[in-house]
Amino acid sequence: MPIINPSRRQFIASAGAAGALAALDVSHAQEPSPFDFAPGKAEHCIMIWLGGGACHIDTWDPKRQGDPATRKPGSDYRAIDTAVDGTQVCEHLEKCASVLDRINIVRTTYHELIDEHAIATNMMHTGRHVSGTVTYPSIGSLMTYHKGPVNESTPPYVLIGYPTVSRNSGFLGSKHGFVYLTDTREGPSGLARPAAITDQRQKRREDALKALRDSFLNKQSSKVVQQYDSAIGQALKLASPEFMSAFNLKSEPDTLREQYGGEFGQRCLLSRRLVERGVRFIEVSHNLNFVNGTGWDTHNNGQDAQHLLIQELDRALSSLILDLENKKLLDKTLICVATEFGRPAAFDGGGGRGHHSKCFSTVLAGGGLQNGRTIGVTDELGMKTLEQPVSVPDLHASMHYALGIDPRKLVFDDDRPIPTTDMGTPVRELFV
Amino acid sequence: MTNAHSILSVFLLASFLLNNTSAQDSYVQMTKDDEPVTYWRMDKNADGVYLNSAGEDPLSLAAKVVGTIKQTELGPTLPEFPLFASEHAAIEITNPPGRLVVTDPGDESPLDFKKGDPITIEAWVNSSGLQNNGYRYILGKGRTNNKGFSAENQNYSLRLSGKGGAAYLSFLMRGTANGKQDYHRWESKTPVGVGDGWHYVVITYIMGTPNTLRGFIDGKLVAGTWEVAGDVETTPVVDNDELWIGTSLGGNPNSTFHGSLDEIAIYRKLLPADRIAQKYEYRGQELTLDTSLIKQDKVRFEVYENISDSKSWSMRAPVFLESYDRDDLVLFRVPHKYTPSGVIDDRPIPFMVRAMGRFVIPKGTQQILVRARNGARLQIDDSQVLDIPFFNISSSSHGSVPKIDRTLAPHIRPLYRGDSQKLISIEGDGEEHLFVFDMIVGGKDRRPECGESGIYIAPPDEDFRVLGHGDTVLLTDYHFPPYFQREWQAIEKLNQTKRIAASKDEAEYWNNRHKHAAMITQLFKPLSQAGNAFPERSNNLIDRYLNDRLAASDLKPTAALNDLQFLRKLSLDTTGAIPSPKVVAKLLENQNDNRRQDWIDYFLSQDAWADHWVSYWQDVLAENPNIVNPTLNNTGPFRLWIYEALLDNRPMDQMVTQLIMMEGSKYFGGPAGFELATQNDAPMAAKAHVLTQAFLGVQMKCARCHDAPFHESTQQDLFEIAAMLKRGPQVVPSTSSVPLEGINPEDLAVTISVKPGTNIQSHWPLEDLASDRLPAELVRYKDDSRAQLARLITQPLNLRFSQVIVNRMWKRLIGYGLREPIDDWQDSTSSHPYLLDFLARELARNGYDLKHVARTIFESDVYQRTSTDLVTNDDGHSLFAGPVTRRLSAEQIVDSLFSSSGQPFDAGAMSVDIDGARRVTNSLHLGFPRRAWQFSDTSNERDRPSLTLPFAQPFVTVMELFGWNGARQSPISQRQDEMNVLQPAILHNGILAQQITTLTVDSNFTRIALQSESVNELLDSTFRQILGREPSTEERDLVAPLVADGFESRIVELTTTERDELVYPEPAPRNLISWSNHNSKDANSVKLELRKYVKAGPKPTAELTPQWRTQMEDLVWALYNSPEFVFSP
């Protein structure tokens, strides 16, 4: 690594200039808690990602019923009561409704990026607009950067879904990127030992490798070479049964596996197992477009079978909450259910819905928060915010704060100071 | 058939040429006879005023130019348009929009048309470029956005409306009907030709009167509809606003005509249909076929432009552009077109390729299979034998997944998504026959791609082979892909020849500049004398400057590299991969004293130099193409331009000038792709930041939104450079500002000196770093602020540019800069100022030749020493006792894995739109990677299995872990690639690692295993293949048992059938899914199946016993995973 002119960097860190969009003096930004309520104590975060843009009025923010057939605007489903007085959700979230007292719904998340999934997804993961001068890290990379690994032999950030630039580590570098897997039966790409490599072969390999490592280190003893060599040792450990057993879902009781449901449910179950092994941040993607053809991006006839996706989410999410609670992990684990935007009350020509980002729902559960709160109020069709808009920086600030991270703490892109969130403020009701 | 028949038809010039006096400009005469009120022939006088040829006074209702209008294109003329006998200029409307403006003389003027007034508007249009949706103004009265007029004051207008890649004739007026003011819009149902030359368009209408509007295209009445507000009685808006030609709405680019205009006239009467028919005559040249041009055993390819975008063969005169020869009748890609400056240019889409050659058709029944991406036809001898329909796949994403059909031949390669095929059966006679294959390439706003187009031939029930003169290539999944890749690369060579020819004049200019630069640098003050410490460790001035300082410290030069280590390191730094043992053995035959110089020359001359260095500049210049719906500050794929520039070893000052001028193709690899910055609020500000950081060591990252607290550069500075790039004022967007609402300015740690919304004029703010002092005779495009910026940065008196470049090279080759950080010099000093100056002058006085600087560094003793940890002092300076230990880059790792294993680099297409059904602006195709730099980010942000790239993903996964960035939203001078556990992990168990360590039929390790006569020989070869050396005695003793056990009985004798099975491995359902069908039910399962296939890895060879093979594989695994493999010596 180059040594950045240390005097200037130290100067910045001490004098404290803030980044572009938040050029506030550090006397505000660097205080341990800039807010008058205490930070949370969660240790882990599971972010469930509903890729495609989940319709808020068909899930967490039900409105008067419409009809896709006649293009009458409104929710596609009936609303039902929940464990929280005065808060209703749609009928396909029945199981979540019964545990809604462990869940907060933020009904007024918003941004203004609507044309294309990628840019909205990027906003929801990084909390920033693309700038061209800085590549911002995802919230997963930021959380693991701040909190570090729970233990050295566990990757801090696991993605169960496809690798994307928005989920990656931006200027924090590949060290703060994710390990990913796309099939719970296979384990993470690159870590799991191929089936053909028996223990005997592995030993053979490691013995030969040992000879070569030793002979090279005798010749070349640079620090970087030593570092790489010790990383080899750690990698061998990571691929060993100790960590890889996390991916053996078969060791869970059948009834529990059944309760979680299909591949998405198994992803959630795996997340719990990863939390148990010390993974800090897990993103679980739920956009299996074979369920209804389009995933959550329910244009046209994607709407027809959207309820199957919702039911799948209902089953997996409620199971995860109860399972974590049984294992005494719920207070330590923040669950976030996020999506890139919501969808409008009106139906398109094919009976589906377009994109809507003026207000949409995000869910924050467990994590030692004040649960059972419903944040923000939208209008009669869920098209506009009436009370308490929650910006993406505020949402991210709430998540960081739940893990005890100062959401305005500076991180550095080379020597450029950048606040962890775009000067977001945690949503007070979640903490007090 | 004999060759005497081969010339089918040759049309030269039509017969009217012989007898054309009576036709002398009869169009002009007819027009004047009909007494229009205005007739702009695009003649201008000395004052640049466009004259009115209608009446007596050419200055009455003449048009003046606002902005820039090009007057270069020829108007309609002979021989295609016989009514125009003399050559005549036209105007071309370019962006930023210029226009012709005609002042309305006042109330009741000849330009005003009230209700009931008859009007005829006619024009000749030559529309070019991509017709995005929008209304392109030929002319309009009113709706100028001029002050003092209503914005909605269109008296009348004639336009082309772009829809789905075609252009339609459109008339628009504003009128009051039933007490309500509204726009009334008529549009033709027949399109006007685009990209195929001049067309004649006319409308006649009695203003505000139903059933009177008639539209004519090329003299013919065409049907149309009133699309807005209907065909009703209406009272048109009439005022004294101007009449504009070429654009409207204040010069809105979306309302601006693309292409040329000529012969525009307005009449206060209705021209009758028969008169309009009389005014259009077209005589196209037919396509000629001259088979005498076919060379022996070659296929001649001809490229034609001027093809109408109409999915039809009834085309106007295609214009022959160029030809080239290949061996076989296949068409996978067409060579690039180049601008005169030698950068990739866009061909007008569509274009046509004709391929012709003579082939023997063997005796007996033969099947001829034709595959084509778009409309195509095949002629054998005199007759057309088949045609392939035009491309017809909707981009909607709901198309179905085709079933794989392998019935045509035993191992046939299934049809590639997007291609169509037809089969004919003929009786062969053992004689030679003429084959002529025509294909239209691209069209309807789609990329001009060829798929696997070509002619394949076979007797029934046998595998098809490529019809050609080269080696026999079978159309199977096993034989075809490497052939495809070779052909693809062969076009690369043609491209090089073409661009060097196209840019001869340009090269001359740069030669002159470099003479000037050499002269100027002679005038610089002589450098300080270098000392003579460690004379035995001093090869050139580099060492003398370094050793001087080293001697004054307690450090000593590190040990020298031996020849093998030196070759490995040199190969990595020039070609980007470890050298093959064969090359090393060959080079080692040279044991002369100056052998290392020879080796340096050898490696510098390799084309792979470009493959290695392109990714460096991709990072530095934030090249960031996105294969799906680019919205994340994405650029065009200007990687191709970087690659070509490096391949040609283009001088650095010329390269930077080309980058700044941003010319050529935006979406297909020209430097115009640098201009793009999707969803960025101020693209040119982003580019200004890239350029100053890359080439001047000036950091303006913070200045994007506010004055940088610790940098001298202000936001004003950055936006001034942005304005230079924009060639006009640049607004500071509010999103590039600090929101000040509710903030006490006292609390701010930064200064906000520019208010959002401020319009910043172009100006060069870094006067103290560089000034524009090139001699007048070398100054081109004097008034162009972009050209000026390029001069400011690259002119030879600006030694800062050369210093920054050589410092970048130094860092890449030695591991740490002479000045750090390399992209931000404000507060740093150089550790060896004389050395930095020496290298900078070397660059400037040697024609800005990067290879010259690289050679100087390679020749130095310091480069040839063993590496060491970085040690710096308080100033951040290093003394360079030796180079800094470098881990291989992501690209070097991947490329070295494959170059050493010898297995095919099988990554598939870098595209999710493999059939090319989507618009150019929505999806890119980055080709078929053969080297690591050719990948890009694979994310689609949709999490759909059907949009994944199962073959590319394992490469991308390895590369990202080793610090490569597939998406470069911002420029990168130094990758963040700290050591982490996932790096060795992915090489232990990742998919790519599994592939490389599997002993497949095509693996070098299989070859070594089969050929080695002893365990020692096997070990020597294997070590050489991966680590570039032989094992030490100790290593040999330790690893030999691994492969000694069973060595003697390792080889398995195979039956013929078993050998066949080796050649035809398990087929996979490849090339079936594109964007156009990714939302169909089967698309996910096909992709998941492919993923499984990739994960399972290639089949190991059956030529070795499984037991022994796995032992050997474990040895190979251990060697690749040795830390030695990932470090440069």
Whether the link from the prior residue into B821 is cis, omega within 30° of 0, is yes
Q: Once rounded to an integer, what is the mean pLDDT over residues A90-101?
A: 97
Cα–Cα distance for residue pair B903/B995, rounded to 1 Å = 9
Distance of CA B999 to the CA centre of its chain: 37
Q: Once rounded to an integer, what is the mean pLDDT over residues B829-836?
A: 96
Residue B695 φ/ψ, nearest 5 degrees: -115, -10
A412-430 confidence digits (pLDDT tens): 987 788 999 999 999 999 9
Q: Place B165 in a pLDDT band, splitting at 50, 70 and 90.
A: low
Measured between CB atoms, does B922 come within 8 Å of chain A? Answer: no
Query: What pLDDT was estimated at residue A370?
Result: 95
Test B941 with A1 for CB contact under 8 angstroms.
Answer: no
| Nearest chain B Cα distance for residue A225, angstroms | 7
Among A431, A423, A373, CA closest to A401? A431
Q: Are B207 and B141 in contact, with CB atoms under 8 Å apart?
A: no
Q: Left, alpha or beta for A312 (phi > 0: left; psi -120 to 50: alpha)?
A: alpha
The structure's pTM equals: 0.84
Query: What pLDDT was estimated at residue B22?
Result: 40
Query: What pLDDT was estimated at residue B339?
Result: 94
B810 exposure class (CB count in 10 Å sphere: 0-12, 13-18, 19+): buried
- Mutate: best of B1018, B1029, B1112, B1122, partner A, most A CBs <10 A: B1122
Measured between CB atoms, does A24 come within 8 Å of chain B? Answer: yes
A162-216 confidence digits (pLDDT tens): 888 899 998 998 889 898 888 888 788 778 888 889 999 999 999 999 999 999 9
Residue B316 pLDDT more than 90?
A: no
CB nearest to B1122's CB, from A177, A212, A293 = A212
Residue B732 pLDDT more than 70?
A: yes
Query: What pLDDT was estimated at residue A306?
Result: 94
Cα–Cα distance for residue pair A202/B513, rounded to 1 Å = 62
Query: What pLDDT was estimated at residue B743?
Result: 62
Which residues does B945 contact at the CB level (< 8 Å), separation at least 6?
A182, A289, B1083, B1084, B1087, B1088, B1091
Burial B180-218 (b: 16+ CB within 10 A, else e): eebebbbbbeebbbbbbbbbbbbbbbbbbbeeebbbbbb
B881-914 confidence digits (pLDDT tens): 999 999 999 999 999 999 999 999 999 999 999 9
Measured between CB atoms, does A193 come within 8 Å of chain B? Answer: yes
Residue B663 pLDDT more than 90?
A: yes
Q: Which string of DSSP letters, residue by residue, matches A264-323? A: HHHHHHHHHHHHHTT--EEEEE---TTTTSSTT---GGGGTTHHHHHHHHHHHHHHHHHH
Measured between CB atoms, does B626 come within 8 Å of chain A? Answer: yes
* Residue B105: CB atoms within 10 Å: 13
Cα–Cα distance for residue pair A362/A104, rounded to 1 Å = 9
Query: What pLDDT was estimated at residue B133?
Result: 65
Test A24 with B867 for CB contact under 8 angstroms.
Answer: no
Q: In which residue are the tokens 């570090």 written?
A: A148
The nearest alpha carbon in chain A to B624 belongs to A132
Test A209 with B750 for CB contact under 8 angstroms.
Answer: no
Residues from chain A contacting residue B626 (CB–CB below 8 Å): 118
Distance of CA B908 to the CA centre of its chain: 19
Test A133 with B689 for CB contact under 8 angstroms.
Answer: yes
Which residues does B321 contact at the CB level (< 8 Å), separation at least 6?
B303, B304, B305, B337, B351
Distance of CA B31 to the CA centre of its chain: 45
> What DSSP element (H or E) covers B618?
helix B608-620
Q: Are B917 and B393 in contact, with CB atoms under 8 Å apart?
A: yes
Among B425, B427, B329, B327, CA closest to B376? B329
Whether the link from the prior residue into B79 is cis, omega within 30° of 0, is yes
pLDDT > 70: what percent of chain B? 96
> Using alpha carbons only, what angle is made at residue B854 by residues B819 and B342, rounded to the nearest 5 degrees?
105
Residue A21 pLDDT more than 50?
A: no
More confident residue, B980 or A324: A324
Residues from chain A contacting residue B872 (CB–CB below 8 Å): 3
| Nearest chain B Cα distance for residue A294, angstroms | 7
Residues from chain B contacting residue A174 (CB–CB below 8 Å): 960-963, 976-978, 980, 982
Written as six digits, the tokens of B561 are 């590299």
List the 271-330 stretch of A: residues with Cβ below 8 A of B. 285, 287, 289-290, 293-295, 297
Residue A31 pLDDT more than 50?
A: no
Whether the link from the prior residue into B683 is cis, omega within 30° of 0, is no
Q: In which residue are the tokens 């030679």 written?
A: B432
**In chain B, what is the straight-line distance between the N-terminal and C-terminal CA atoms, in Å?**
65
List the 878-907 stretch of B: residues with Cβ below 8 A of A. 885, 887
Cα–Cα distance for residue pair B26/B20, rounded to 1 Å = 10
Q: Place B222 in a pLDDT band, splitting at 50, 70 and 90.
A: very high
Least confident residue range of A15-24, B415-424, B1101-1110 = A15-24
Query: What pLDDT was estimated at residue A33?
Result: 63
Test B937 with A165 for CB contact under 8 angstroms.
Answer: yes
Q: Once rounded to an integer, what is the mean pLDDT over residues A373-377?
A: 97
Residue A29 pLDDT more than 50?
A: no
**In chain A, what is the straight-line distance between the N-terminal and C-terminal CA atoms, in Å?**
43
Number of helices (H), then strands (E), belonging to chain B: the values are 28, 32
The nearest alpha carbon in chain B to A51 belongs to B942
B462-503 confidence digits (pLDDT tens): 999 999 999 999 999 989 999 999 999 999 999 999 999 999
Q: Place A17 in a pLDDT band, splitting at 50, 70 and 90.
A: very low
Measured between CB atoms, does A204 come within 8 Å of chain B? Answer: yes
Cα–Cα distance for residue pair A111/A53, rounded to 1 Å = 13
Among B238, B235, B226, CA closest to B172? B226
A247-287 confidence digits (pLDDT tens): 999 999 999 999 999 999 999 999 999 999 999 999 999 97
* C-alpha dihedral (B61, B62, B67, B69), degrees to nearest 10: 130
B23-47 confidence digits (pLDDT tens): 468 999 999 999 999 999 999 998 8
Test A416 with B702 for CB contact under 8 angstroms.
Answer: yes
C-alpha distance from residue B404 to each of B394, B412, B459, B482, B1072 (Å): 20, 10, 22, 21, 8
Cα–Cα distance for residue pair B72/B89, rounded to 1 Å = 7
**DSSP summary character for residue B934:** G
Least confident residue range of B18-22, B142-146, B216-220, B877-881 = B18-22
Test A172 with B705 for CB contact under 8 angstroms.
Answer: no
Least confident residue range of A371-375, A407-411, B26-30, B66-70 = B66-70
- Residue A390's SS3 state is strand
Test B970 with A132 for CB contact under 8 angstroms.
Answer: yes
Cα–Cα distance for residue pair B715/B705, rounded to 1 Å = 7
Query: What pLDDT was estimated at residue B129?
Result: 59
Average pLDDT across chain B, whole number: 92
| Nearest chain B Cα distance for residue A223, angstroms | 6
Cα–Cα distance for residue pair B545/B559, rounded to 1 Å = 18
Test A118 with B631 for CB contact under 8 angstroms.
Answer: yes
The nearest alpha carbon in chain A to B872 belongs to A3
CB nearest to A165's CB, from B735, B966, B1110 = B966
- Packed helices A263-276 and A306-326: angle between N→C axes, nearest 10 degrees: 20
Query: What pLDDT was estimated at residue B746?
Result: 66
Residues from chain A contacting residue B710 (CB–CB below 8 Å): 8, 11-12, 17, 415
Which residues does B440 contact at the CB level (< 8 Å), separation at least 6?
B307, B350, B351, B352, B374, B375, B376, B390
| Nearest chain B Cα distance for residue A274, angstroms | 17
Residues from chain B contacting residue A225 (CB–CB below 8 Å): 885, 1123, 1127
Cα–Cα distance for residue pair A101/A103, rounded to 1 Å = 5
Alpha helices in B366-461 (DSSP H): none
- Is the sign of the CA dihedral B923, B926, B928, B931 positive or negative? negative
Test A190 with B1038 for CB contact under 8 angstroms.
Answer: no
Written as six digits, the tokens of B255 are 């309302």
